[in-house]
Structure 1
Amino acid sequence: MNAYQNFLDFFSMNNGERLDGLSEIYFSGMSRDERAMAFEYLLKMVLEGGSWESVNGLFIADAERAALVVRKLLDAHQLREDAEIAAAWNLYCLQSDSSLIPVFIRLMSSGDKYNRAHAAFYVPADDFTPELDSALKGMIRTETETLPLVNATNKYLECHGITRESVSKEEFSRLYRGLRSDEAGVKEAVFNELKNLLQ
């Protein structure tokens, strides 16, 4: 039961010790029975609203079982905001279900800056809808906190096929700086330039 005990010990660590999060490492040495016990342990947390960690852990323990339970909780709005983001992201990774995109969009306007940042970071770039376009533009135009703004800017570029790997460093920097500009006209010019890329 050493691997299972390590898993349980994770939850008694303080936040500084938990920086790397609950990962596959905690589950890899478990027997099938231990993994099932870990699933039940996490399920209790998730049924109480969950957290980013508990939802991700549930999917690591047993993705198929987790998907069934978590989808019902997500649809019934019974998860906390950070758990909703983890749920939508894990479900999208399994199913590529575009009906999950509105979850990310809604949480891009959360009152919690970390949830806004996570929503912008984890929203899938491969399902770029007009609603997602509008939500990311809205964040880029109005967000005052650095991390959500950085994530929204990077995601908006990614949605247009612009990453640090796909274009030159200079081109990426030019577009990124344009979207982060304090001048509205500069931002709008970059929005128009990117819009033309998709046509």
Structure 2
Amino acid sequence: MRKAIKEDKDLVVGILCSAFKPIKIPNSINFVVKQDKHRNHRLKILMEYMFYNALKFGDILISDNEKGVILLQYHRKKMLTFNTVFWDIKLAFCCIGIENVYKVLKRENALKKYHPKEPHIHPWIMAVKSEHWGRGTGVRLIQEAFEYYKDNDLPIIIETTTNSNLKLYKKFGFKIIKETHELDYPLYFLKR
């Protein structure tokens, strides 16, 4: 596993897009991305947004085989800059759609409400290229991330919308700390 640098943008965005293009069920990504004939382009804009934010305010970890990634956010590092305002405006106009901004802001408030206020590690998104699903890349990626943070005492807080992810995270010792259905899909918050 290695930390991504700016030059890894295309690799990271490619992995993220590959992982989420085939998923059409209600989840966090499909909630944010306007669902129309431009979905794939909008998805790419969201993944670029996430890449730049994680690079600036967290870490991006790439698996050794370069088929999986984890983007982490450190909320205590996040701040308002010219770039973040630009990224937010681009996301609103080119990915979410102006008519959907309110519902996405409502979602963000729900997420903030359930995340602990104390410092924690937040794996923002984890993805494996779709053609590598079921080959153990995701499991290895989680194991490598735990190894990467083994000397850190901060709790790890993660959220998921799918039962398959829920089962996987529970195998790694995560416990559900909150479950909500206030959005258009179930949302589980887990802690380790």
TM-score by length of 1: 0.28
More strand by share: 2
RCO greater where, 1 or 2, for CA within 8 Å and sep 6 or more? 2
